[in-house]
Amino acid sequence: MSQYVLKIDCSDEKGLIYKISNVIFNNDLNIEKNSEFVDEESQKFFFRARVVGNLDIDEMRKQLSAVLPNDAQVYLGVRRAKNVVLMATKESHCLGDILLKYQSGELNANIQAVISNHDSLRALTEKFDIPYFYVSAENLERSAHEEKILTLLAEFNPDFVVLAKYMRILSADFVKPYEGKIINIHHSFLPAFIGANPYKQAHKRGVKIIGATAHFVNNDLDEGPIIAQDVIHVNHEYSWRDMQKAGRNVEKVVLSNAIDLAFEDRIFVNNNKTIIF
């Protein structure tokens, strides 16, 4: 008996739950868990189920397509560990947290490699017996540097690329072949601060809340569909270094939550928003 994940999004219409359930029943499968949602604005239906049994995936896809609206997007696959490449620069907190969870078996993932534009995190990565690739950006145009990384990624063909505080802006040409597969983490403040040392800027403004946002990367910097967010309260007693430490802790938690959702196939993207089951 195998575990499968079924995801469907399509135009909403009457009887969809019945039709989907009937196909599942006719294939002698058992539903362990299912969730559904209708977005009233777009009139789109979203469905996810975890099912158990033995099936012919292609045949079941055909059966579902025959009873669903013409615009239906159907994903059906064996629940498995996702192949993942991590990208980092110099900050170790997010990368280290992911590597520790990986070592302890907490991630439904196979980390294939770490790629960085600095050599700073090699020793940390190699403690976990994971290949580390240093791709220097020195004296290279962005396009040339990205081409080297894309060549590496093509060798691994990962399901997801996780930017564990990778601090270089990615071009549209880089993002395009991995659309919906690149996950980023960044600080998010109220108000927002950009540029060097945002925590020092936040401290000078006397902010009361700091936080982090994990999102899919698209062509607009930090404006891709949001997967997970969290905030914590701070006060006047925090130095900017205290804020930085607290903020990095939030970043670790938010990124960890986001990649868990992605690796378990629990995310739908609807325009620039996410539906998460």
**Mean pLDDT of all residues in 80-100:** 98
pLDDT for 187 equals 83
- The confidence band for 94, taking pLDDT boundaries of 50, 70 and 90, is very high
C-alpha–C-alpha distance, residues 7 and 274, integer Å: 14
C-alpha–C-alpha distance, residues 133 and 157, integer Å: 15
DSSP code of residue 26: H
- Name the residue type at position 220: D
The percentage of residues in the chain with a pLDDT greater than 90, rounded to a whole number, is 89
Q: Are the CB atoms for 45 and 8 separated by under 8 Å?
A: yes
pLDDT for 126 equals 97
Structure tokens at 270: 């609807």
The percentage of residues in the chain with a pLDDT greater than 70, rounded to a whole number, is 99
pLDDT at residue 198 is higher than 60: yes
DSSP code of residue 229: E
Give catalytic residue positions: 222
pLDDT for 189 equals 64
Q: Which pTM was predicted?
A: 0.93
pLDDT tens-digit series, residues 95-114: 999 999 999 999 999 999 99
